Amino acid sequence: MMGKCSKSLMAFPILLHTLCFLLFPQPLLSQENHFVRQPAGQLIITPHQRYNSDPQQVHISLMGKENMSVSWITEDKHTKSVVEYGTKSGEYSAKATGEHTSYQYFFYNSGRIHNVVIGPLQPSTTYFYRCGGSGPEFSFKTPPPKLPIEFVIVGDLGQTEWTASTLKHVDSSDYDMFLLPGDLSYADSQQPLWDSFGRLVEPYASKRPWMVTEGNHEIEIFPIIYPQGFKAYNARWTMPFQQSGSTSNLYYSFEVAGTHIIMLGSYTDFDAQSQQYTWLQSDLTNIDRVKTPWVIALLHAPWYNTNEAHQGEGESMRQAMEELLYNARVDLVFAGHVHAYERFTRIYDNKADLCGPMYVTIGDGGNSEGLALKFKNPPSPLSLYREPSFGHGRLRILNETHAHWSWHRNNDTDAVIADGIWIESLSSSKACSKTPDQRDHAAKEEL
């Protein structure tokens, strides 16, 4: 039998999102640009249209240097967790077996969630694969072994008409890896929306690795019954946390093509006594900037923000962890949460600092709540570009010293490049190669 969505379970979220859409019945005109800014898009429900034994919601994630984790769901509880794969379509020279799990959330019972790690794989190579022994063939391309590499970065994705537009624009130009700093499905405890989201992103997440961290919409806590939260997120989106020495799927790191990427958790403990803080200290200490000259961090709640929305929500985490990132010379920090785009200069402790990270808010993927339209005025000199529009970003790291960042606004059928900047790695900066104490000492000697 073909799988079917539960209409009764879906009715409530559809009504909620329709109400939100009706609150913004007219397009909004930008005060800073001469184009029409659209309201939040309508919710898209992506139904299950395959056999119950066939894979659905297929997505892949990097799992160590030469391996890939393949995840999918079947309604059939007896389907085996097996992936067949090879470098020729229809010819599978290798086979791997993995694990499966499932979860219950009130009256909702998930399908069988499969996770299989395949490899070792060759870099910059297209692999064809089949999940569970039946259903369609998928393919993916592994990341390159060294620079250059291109990342797509977008947060607060959701599953609206604007989400579909963002993903279409992303797919129009090739890239190597998708980075998502939190707020994936906007299920908000309505579990069928997790399934719908998985089906919506499958055409993209099955062919390039998606590396994600959690946002506030993944928490899904219910007092007493589900006090820990992240039940669906942890079951559905398993990241390589153990490979980086982390004890939690909510924060981890990985390396790819000369880049060390840190995925931090805004919604788990982060103070100086926390496990995440201790892990981050160790992770940063072990970075080899000769091997990985670029270091990037992603988190959900921004540490710097001139939008009126979510003011100060990342401040306690900034106070706890900013010095660690600064001393380690992290190049860029990407955040979501605020439904707009904003790019800052290099900052440390609320002041411009050439040796601090460049901060970018990219929470504009297509969420169901609409855009955060109001920025604080007068603008801060630290904020160099800000705009409440849907879109996505691309970070192309060309070599050990230079990268290019661009932000692509969704504008009708085209993705318009609205902002772009060349970036020099801090590892190549002689001025920033010294520790803060050494720089202070040198400055005193100059005086």
Residue 187 in contact with residue 232, Cβ under 8 Å? yes
The two structure tokens encoding residue 97: 């077996």
Distance CA 230, CA 220 (A): 6
Q: How far is CA 75 from CA 2, 4, 367, in A?
A: 10, 10, 27
Most distant CA pair in the chain: distance in Å? 80
**DSSP helix/strand/coil, 103:** coil
**Which one, of 393, 387, 389, 386, lies nearest residue 411 by Cα?**
389
59, 169, 310, 337: which one is catalytic? 310
DSSP state of 73: E
Q: Within 10 A of 446 (CB to CB), how many other CB atoms are there?
A: 6
Exposed e or buried b for every residue in 337-361, given b needs 16+ CB within 10 A? bbbbbbbbbbbbeeeeeebbbbbbb
Distance CA 79, CA 317 (A): 43
Strands 94-97 and 82-86: antiparallel
Length of the chain: 447
Distance of CA 430 to the CA centre of its chain: 32
CA angle 441, 321, 301 (to 5 degrees): 135
**DSSP helix/strand/coil, 149:** strand
Distance CA 443, CA 378 (A): 33
Query: First CA to last CA across the chain, in angstroms?
Result: 80
Residue 427 in contact with residue 177, Cβ under 8 Å? no
DSSP state of 226: B
Q: How far is CA 58 from CA 122, 207, 212, 419, in A?
A: 21, 9, 15, 32
Quick check: is 402 catalytic? no
Residues taking part in catalysis: 310
